[in-house]
Amino acid sequence: MNKENKNKKYGTVSIPTGVLEEIDNLVKELRFWPSRGAFVREACIEKVRREQDRLKKSERSASGEKVLEKERGERQND
């Protein structure tokens, strides 16, 4: 990583023009977000949190299934 990238606090992404137009319409009509960037930032944070929660649930479910499989195996051996 070079010195220039090390101090960078933001990255750049490409979003299809049609999606940007929809975002701009929402920002304008709802007037909840001060800018397109604020909307996109909030949407990204929301999506990251949702996917992290889904991943945690999946991991808990998988570990729970392993416990159940172990218990079933122990019962069959009794």
DSSP 34: S
Whole-model pTM? Answer: 0.67
pLDDT in tens, 1-42: 566 667 888 899 999 999 999 999 999 999 999 999 999 999
What is the gyration radius of the CA atoms in the chain, in angstroms?
Answer: 22
Q: Are 33 and 42 in contact (CB under 8 A)?
A: yes
Total count of residues recorded for the chain: 78
Domain map (residue ranges) of the chain: 37-78
Instruction: Return the pLDDT at 60.
Output: 81
pLDDT in tens, 39-53: 999 999 999 999 999
Q: How far apart are CA 42 and CA 69, in angstroms?
A: 40
